[in-house]
Amino acid sequence: MTEFIARYMDDLGIPPLILSRGYAGGDEAKMLQRHLSQTSAKIGVGANRTAAAAEMFERYGCMDLGSSLYFEALLSPFKLRPHLRTEMIGIVILDDGMQHWSLFRNAELVMINGLSPWGNNHLIPRGSLREPPDALGRAHIGVIHHADLIGPLHVDRLDFSDHHSIKPNDVNKIIKILTLLHSRFGTNATVLVTEKDYDRDPEILREIDDFQIMVLCSSLQIMPFEDRTEEDFRMVLNKLVLSI
């Protein structure tokens, strides 16, 4: 979603700044930097995201979204004319920041996993929820992801915490599971890892190169639901940006 919004804002001629916490050597930042290298998007990394933003504003400056030119861009279905483009930052996207209480936000977008919306219904550390479900009332937009995967699939999972660095013992667990799957189904299983996993530990993953390894590169597609479409989402986002 971060990448989706960044590309959308770039299309409008409004350079986005993405603020990332930078866990595990900045795996997410590296991935976004690669994906958005042909856009005007800038990425600020650091535990103090306020300081990271201030440094980027000092370097590039800030756009005035109140000008008639950018109101026109946000309300128009057409891209901004090339000669009006700028390197100044026009909008800030705080990646994974709903609990970042010290930083003011104009809009909150929440991603909800359609395969397991509420986890085990318990908060961290007993469960996976960071806040109770009624905290969704603070959100301006809620997006259900993995909606097209709801239903039976035969997949074995080995879950680690976010930004986990794969260790030799983890590799042994992976090989053991793959061996059992081969024995059960008579065919080699495919190892599917996230792009973040690959960026973080590309070398150690070669320890399981006897098996096919695929890296999942994600992109976002908004699926129409009832009368709501991608264009409705864009228009809500435009109105929120105009309120800044």
Query: Tens digits of per-residue pLDDT, 145-158?
Result: 888 777 657 678 88
User: Could you give the C-alpha distances from 33 to 1, 26, 37, 110, 224, in angstroms and in order?
Assistant: 14, 10, 6, 22, 29
Please tell me the predicted confidence (pLDDT) of residue 75.
65
Check if the beta carbon of residue 75 is closer than 8 Å to that of residue 238: yes
Q: Where do the H-state alpha helices sit in 100-229?
A: 168-185, 195-200
Among the listed residues 198, 233, 178, 232, the one whose alpha carbon sits nearest the alpha carbon of residue 24: 198
- Residue 84 confidence (pLDDT): 57
208 contacts 166 by C-beta, under 8 angstroms = no
Query: Span 76-81, mean pLDDT?
Result: 58
Cβ(121)–Cβ(129) under 8 Å? yes
Reported confidence tier of residue 77, pLDDT bands at 50, 70, 90: low
- Whether the Cβ atoms of residue 86 and residue 62 lie closer than 8 Å to each other: no
pLDDT at 97 over 90: no
Please state the rounded mean pLDDT for residues 218-234.
88
> Rounded mean pLDDT of 126-150?
87
CA-closest candidate to residue 193, choices 144, 158, 147: 158
Rounded Cα gap, residues 226 and 213, in angstroms: 38
Range 80-106 average pLDDT: 80
SS3 for 193?
strand
Query: Is residue 243 pLDDT above 70, yes or no?
Result: yes
pTM above 0.85, yes or no: no
pLDDT the model gives residue 212: 80
